[in-house]
Amino acid sequence: MKRAIIFGATGGIGRAIAENMAENGWSLYIHYNHNQQEAGKMVQEFIEKYPDQEFFSLKLNFLAEDDVIKKIVSNLLPISAVIFTQGITNYQFLGSQELDEIEKIIQINLLAPIKITSLLESQLLKQAHGRIIFIGSVYGGQASALESVYSASKGGLSSFVQGYAREVASANLTVNVIAPGAVDTPMNAIFDAETLNEVKNEIPAGRLADPKDISFWVENLLDERSDYLTGQTIYVDGGWLV
Ligand SMILES: NC(=O)c1ccc[n+]([C@@H]2O[C@H](COP(=O)([O-])OP(=O)(O)OC[C@H]3O[C@@H](n4cnc5c(N)ncnc54)[C@H](OP(=O)(O)O)[C@@H]3O)[C@@H](O)[C@H]2O)c1
């Protein structure tokens, strides 16, 4: 049985990845932070649709202490793929942000994912085709004003995978970032229609990404035939920024 964990499965991109993976025969841990109801709904829906696979919901706040993270990770059944699609931003000038807000962004987007990767390493190395996929951002390659901390967290992920991929490549464990441009999800609900229209006009493809535009590339990285692609950041941005 092929089993994976999707961190942030309750988000717009996370749900698309979960639907795609479930359809492709994966058993899944559906991770959430606040949205227990959505996670439960997804698990129920998948169990009905794919009765031969296993689906579990799993709560973990990425701001939790190391001991809590360690305990949850150590109780997981063996998995061969980890997808990190949780994430937060705070659209503000740096000088207007509280220091703990800055720390939260780095903790949720970069630090906790690296720690969890470290904790999962030994079991992922045992898999024939282990996969670690981070959902980064186009801003990790070309940073944005008002999202400088978010951009730093995503750029950090891209640097991390370059180095870490080299540590584990001989075991067929690949580590990559899929870096979306603007995607039509609740994360962009902070912007009004006019602002979103302006963004759309800047994107050569003429539209925001659908979450499925992102899950498609995750699916490809999960394929056994992707063993030779590692340490990369793949920008999926409709020709927008990088
Ligand atoms: N949308 C875009 O335009 C866009 C563009 C580029 C990159 N991205 C990246 O793509 C990823 C997914 O984005 P999205 O648009 O799908 O976001 P979203 O719909 O806002 O979902 C965010 C996810 O992160 C989880 N989360 C939030 N705080 C958390 C915490 N403290 N601990 C653990 N998990 C937490 C949420 O869990 P609960 O809902 O259960 O609380 C949710 O599953 C993010 O990494 C984002 O940076 C998005």
Domains in the chain: boundaries: 3-236
- Kindly report the backbone phi and psi dihedral angles of residue 126, in degrees, each rounded to the nearest multiple of 5, phi listed first: -80, -15
Q: Which atom of ligand 1 is nearest to the CA of 35?
A: 40
Nearest residue (by CA) to ligand 1, atom 26, is: 86
Predicted pLDDT at 29: 98
pLDDT of res. 188:
85
- Smallest CA separation from ligand 1 atom 22, residue: 11
226 closest CA partner among 180, 179, 176, 157: 176
pLDDT of residue 191: 86
What does the pLDDT read at residue 242? Answer: 72
Instruction: Kindly state the DSSP code that residue 179 receives in the 8-state scheme.
Output: E
User: Ligand 1: which atom is nearest the Cα of residue 183?
Assistant: 3
- CA–CA dist 32, 56 (Å, integer): 11
**For tokens 């360690």, what's the residue?**
70
Report pLDDT for 203: 96
**Candidates 3.40.190.290, 3.40.1280.10, 3.40.50.300, 3.40.50.720; correct CATH number of 3-236?**
3.40.50.720
**What pLDDT is stored for residue 187 in this prediction?**
84
219 token code pair: 């699916």
Pocket test for ligand 1, best of 59, 83, 88, 104 (most atoms within 8 A of CB): 88
pTM here?
A: 0.98
Q: Is 61 in the pocket of ligand 1 (CB under 6 A)?
A: yes
Q: Give the position, in ligand 1's atom list, of the atom nearest the Cα of 209.
A: 3
Degrees, nearest 5: CA angle 44-113-186: 55
Query: Helix, strand or coil for residue 105?
Result: helix
The whole-number mean pLDDT for each consecutive block of 10 residues of the chain, a chain of 242 residues, reads 97 98 98 98 98 98 98 98 98 97 98 98 97 98 97 98 98 98 89 90 96 98 98 97 80
